[in-house]
Amino acid sequence: MVTKRIQLSAKPRGFHIVTNEVLSAIPGIKLIEYGLFNLFIKHTSASLTINENADATVRADAGSRYFCESLFWASQPKQAAKT
């Protein structure tokens, strides 16, 4: 098992691709055929999405107001049906 601690550069609010930072911080990672990659994000307001990067509009869609609001409402408990 290999353990490696890396620190990514601070970035402003938004969506950022960190693939190159991770690849350069872990030499030989491209040689790994299979395994498990654990990522711990210490910042309480940070989150991670993993996308295949096939469509350039994914980041724009994820940052849209509609998308963010739909996530908020989806996380709210459903109200009991009024009878």
> From CA 65, how far away is CA 82, in angstroms rounded?
30
14: Cα within 13 Å, side-chain hemisphere: 8
Tokens standing for residue 51: 């996308």
The answer to whether 21 and 8 are in contact (CB under 8 A) is: yes
The model carries a pTM of 0.57
pLDDT in tens, 12-70: 877 788 888 888 988 888 888 888 888 888 877 777 777 777 777 776 776 676 666 66
